[in-house]
């Protein structure tokens, strides 16, 4: 549905977006995730036509639109600021695009009613934007974009003005809406949790380049670089030396301190040192010696931080190696783990992931 081929954007001598190649499928929920200033909005603006690439080609539904103005593209954009007309009612704001397209009055009324129901704004049709909450305004902006039934909807941090609870609620509503409508969504955010909640695939962008493109599962469980591992979720990132290679497993020494077995990560034959990423929740902690064969070690809980649903634990191995782990707080009445406890840890070889330095 959307294809970017070798797209680069320079502002003067500054390269904001560098050689991006990307295909977004029809009805897919694709998210551009990255830190502030990495180029997410610029990529979106080249898809909507508000910016022209310095090099490369933008295709929509197979057609080269690189030089087409925004109004000639079957794409709608929901802006961070919502950009609603303050003097128009909710219904008139939503109907605006259809009026511009000279759709008949009867059809406008029908289509507006349908999207008002879709975004649960029934009863608010005659209010002005100033009489709505942030979340309701956001839904008006969405309804206004959806009512024109674009093939592609671009959303630039549309939830950033909402409080945490409403934001989470809207993430789920938006995802459901996208599935119901079957529209291609391209969503921009710097919030990794938001990206994981909503997307089919995520393009992690760093310094104008796609650092990794993959399903939410791939991005989370198999980060390819230290940047991706750090930006999405928590990670212990440590150097390791390769000790021995087996058929399917590789023996490594983590930070010169702890022997581990990891899965064969297609390492080049002469690789001697690597960086690995270990997610805190992948370290299983028990009070008794576990039955597993691989990567079992004893550690002391050096620190415990209460985080509500989980405890963040700092594990200290006798070698001095420290790892961050987390444990579910299953019961308020039973203290599961406490500072100073000796515990047994185990780590599946698949959960020690080799990553490239950023
Ligand atoms: P944020 O999350 O803060 O919105 P972003 O990832 O969307 O950031 P962009 O808005 O795409 O980032 O900007 C990428 C880089 O390009 C930034 O360094 C920005 O300052 C620069 N930039 C964007 N638009 C222009 C412009 N019109 N002229 C010059 N530089 C620009």
- Secondary structure class of 292 (helix, strand, coil): coil
pLDDT in tens, 211-247: 999 999 999 999 999 999 999 988 999 999 999 887 7
Looking at ligand 1, which residue's alpha carbon is closest to its atom 16?
16
Mean pLDDT across the stretch 302-322?
Answer: 91
Mean pLDDT across the stretch 19-47?
Answer: 95
Q: Check whether 187 has a pLDDT greater than 80.
A: yes
Of 358, 195, 214, the residue nearest 277 (C-alpha): 358
DSSP 281: G
Looking at ligand 1, which residue's alpha carbon is closest to its atom 28?
11
Residue with tokens 């009070």: 287
Looking at ligand 1, which residue's alpha carbon is closest to its atom 10?
41
Residues near ligand 1 with C-beta < 6 Å?
A: 11, 14, 16, 34, 36-42, 190
CA distances, 147 to each of 71, 123, 223 (Å): 16, 18, 38
Q: Check whether 270 has a pLDDT greater than 90.
A: no
80 Cα nearest atom in ligand 1: 4
Region of poorest pLDDT, from 43-47, 85-89, 170-174, 341-345: 170-174
The full DSSP string for 47-109 is HHTSS--SEEEEEETTEE-TT--GGGSSEEEE-TT----TTS-HHHHHHHHHHHTT--HHHHH
Looking at ligand 1, which residue's alpha carbon is closest to its atom 27?
11
Q: How far is the CA of 49 from the centre of ligand 1 (A)?
A: 16
Give the per-residue pLDDT at 52: 96
The Cβ of residue 20 has, within 10 Å, a number of other Cβ atoms equal to: 24
């Amino acid at each position: 549905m959307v294809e970017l081929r070798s797209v680069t954007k320079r502002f003067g001598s500054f390269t904001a977006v560098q050689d991006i190649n990307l295909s977004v499928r029809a009805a897919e929920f694709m998210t551009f995730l990255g830190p502030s200033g990495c180029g997410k909005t610029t990529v979106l603006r080249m898809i909507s036509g508000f910016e022209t690439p310095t090099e490369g080609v933008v295709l929509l539904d197979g057609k080269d639109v690189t030089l087409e103005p925004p109004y000639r593209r079957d794409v709608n954009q929901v802006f961070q600021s919502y950009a609603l007309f303050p003097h128009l009612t909710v219904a008139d704001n939503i109907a605006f695009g259809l009026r511009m397209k000279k759709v008949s009055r009867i059809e406008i009324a029908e289509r507006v009613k349908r999207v008002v129901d879709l975004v649960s704004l029934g009863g608010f049709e005659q209010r002005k934007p100033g009489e709505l909450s942030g979340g309701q305004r956001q839904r008006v902006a969405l309804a206004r974009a959806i009512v024109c039934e674009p093939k592609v909807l671009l959303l630039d941090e549309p939830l950033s003005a909402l409080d945490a609870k409403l934001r989470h609620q809207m993430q789920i509503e938006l995802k459901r809406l996208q599935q119901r409508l079957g529209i291609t969504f391209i969503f921009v955010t710097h919030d990794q949790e938001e990206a994981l909640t909503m997307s089919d695939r995520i393009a992690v962008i760093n310094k104008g380049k796609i650092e990794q493109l993959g399903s939410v599962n791939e991005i989370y469980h198999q980060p390819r670089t230290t940047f991706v591992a750090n930006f999405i979720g928590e990670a212990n990132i440590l150097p390791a030396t390769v000790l021995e290679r087996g058929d399917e497993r590789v023996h490594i020494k983590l930070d010169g301190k702890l022997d581990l077995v990891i899965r064969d990560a297609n390492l080049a034959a002469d690789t001697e040192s690597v960086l690995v990423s270990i997610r805190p929740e992948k370290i299983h902690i028990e009070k008794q010696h576990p039955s597993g064969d691989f990567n079992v070690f004893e550690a002391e809980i050096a620190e415990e931080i209460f985080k509500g649903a989980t405890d963040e634990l700092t594990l200290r191995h006798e070698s001095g190696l420290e790892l961050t782990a987390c444990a579910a707080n299953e019961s308020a009445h039973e203290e599961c783990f406490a500072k100073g406890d000796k515990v047994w840890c185990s780590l599946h070889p698949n959960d020690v992931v080799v990553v490239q330095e950023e």
